[in-house]
């Protein structure tokens, strides 16, 4: 197993977070596979007692803390604090030095994927450091790949941030990559990610993009006719993993790109008659183009009723 450190809470404005949400957020992070949660002393003071066990003198530590899960003598899960003793460094790839017996967190390296990263990782692993945590920057959107390559190369610790857009490797992407690459490196339950996303948006007042990889609300919505036909026959043609794995679900939506298979599926889903499907498809495309968006289920039912009533009248005439 590898060590996954989450830095989300130390990089958010958490002045107004309440203890209940803080505890819940930490619970979800541990459930999804995080090993250590980085906290400031202010956040530690907001954790609800008696969840937190350990030495009270620990709070005199001047820097940040790591929250870890442990098991007490009665086999109950408890939380403990560790001082964050990692020394942050930004190391140029061509200026390597020895780190004998040091505890290092390496930051930056945004463009490492364009360089000889296997040799660089090998040098790090043989540097004699007591701990080497990699926290790659994400300004070139390569942090997830760098983190995964580091762990595959033999690295044992990475730092991430949930839903990170630029600064660090997105936690949810690293966890999913680990699960799909080698599940023996990972034991978390990713089905809590949807709940974690909702709570993150609440405490950060930051709306996560609907198309965000792994946790976006719309990434399993399917509209195009050929995509719907394919995903209904074999979900693996368009889905890299089961939506339920991340607490999401597949949704067929109707819009201007929908085809006959999409309409038949939606009519069957809502127990509507399949008569006049061709006329209904034309009406849907026209209505969606006019509105500039997809139709809701209620709008589809209304339109289907109108088209089918009109169809019956023409048959009678």
C-alpha 42/C-alpha 231 separation (Å) is 48
Instruction: Assess whether pLDDT exceeds 90 at residue 199.
Output: yes
50-106: pLDDT as tens digits = 667 666 677 777 889 999 998 877 878 889 999 999 999 988 877 767 788 899 999
208-260: pLDDT as tens digits = 999 999 999 999 988 777 788 888 888 888 888 999 999 998 888 887 888 87
Coil, strand, or helix at residue 77? strand
Whether 143 and 114 have beta carbons less than 8 Å apart is answered as no
Q: Which long-range contacts (C-beta less than 8 Å, at least 24 apart) are formed by 288-294?
A: 288/254, 288/255, 288/256, 289/256, 293/255, 294/223, 294/253, 294/254, 294/255
138-193: pLDDT as tens digits = 999 999 999 999 999 999 999 999 998 778 999 999 999 999 998 887 889 999 99
Looking at 188, 204, 239, the residue that finishes a domain is 188
Task: Give pLDDT, residue 304.
Answer: 78
Q: Quick count: other Cβ atoms within 10 Å of Cβ 49?
A: 7
The total number of structural domains in the chain stands at 3
Same domain, yes or no: 112 and 47: no
Question: In whole angstroms, how far apart are CA 128 and each of 69, 88, 99?
Answer: 28, 16, 6
More confident residue, 314 or 176: 176
Same domain, yes or no: 95 and 75: no
Coil, strand, or helix at residue 160? strand
Sign of the torsion angle spanned by Cα atoms 189, 191, 192, 196: positive
Same domain, yes or no: 180 and 95: yes
Q: Is 205 within a domain? A: no
Q: Is 198 within a domain? A: no
């Amino acid at each position: 197993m590898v060590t996954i450190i989450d830095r989300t809470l130390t990089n958010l404005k958490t002045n107004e977070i309440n203890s209940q949400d803080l505890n819940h957020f930490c619970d979800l992070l541990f459930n999804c596979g995080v090993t250590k949660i980085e906290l400031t002393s202010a956040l530690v003071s907001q954790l609800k007692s008696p969840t937190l066990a350990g030495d009270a003198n620990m709070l005199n530590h001047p820097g940040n803390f790591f929250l870890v899960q442990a098991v007490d003598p009665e086999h109950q899960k408890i939380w403990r604090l560790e001082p964050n003793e990692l020394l942050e460094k930004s190391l140029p790839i061509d200026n390597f030095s020895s780190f004998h017996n040091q505890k290092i967190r390496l930051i930056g390296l945004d463009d490492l994927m364009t360089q000889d990263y296997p040799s660089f990782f090998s040098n790090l692993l043989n540097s004699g450091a007591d701990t080497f945590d990699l926290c790659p920057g994400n300004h070139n959107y390569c942090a997830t790949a760098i983190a995964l390559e580091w762990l595959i190369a033999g690295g044992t610790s990475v730092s991430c941030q949930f839903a990170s857009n630029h600064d660090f490797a997105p936690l949810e992407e690293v966890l999913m990559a680990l699960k799909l690459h080698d599940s023996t490196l990972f034991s978390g339950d990713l089905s809590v990610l949807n709940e974690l996303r909702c709570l993150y948006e609440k405490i950060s007042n930051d709306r996560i993009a609907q198309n965000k990889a792994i946790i976006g609300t719309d990434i399993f919505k399917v509209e195009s006719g050929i995509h719907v036909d394919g995903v209904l026959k074999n979900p693996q043609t368009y889905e890299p993993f089961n939506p339920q794995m991340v607490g999401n679900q597949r949704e067929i939506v109707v819009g201007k790109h929908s085809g006959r298979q999409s309409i038949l599926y939606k009519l069957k889903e809502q127990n509507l008659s399949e008569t006049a499907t061709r006329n209904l498809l034309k009406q849907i495309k026209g209505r969606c183009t006019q509105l500039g968006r997809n139709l809701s289920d209620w709008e589809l039912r209304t339109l289907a009723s109108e088209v089918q009533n009109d169809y019956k009248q023409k048959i009678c005439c």
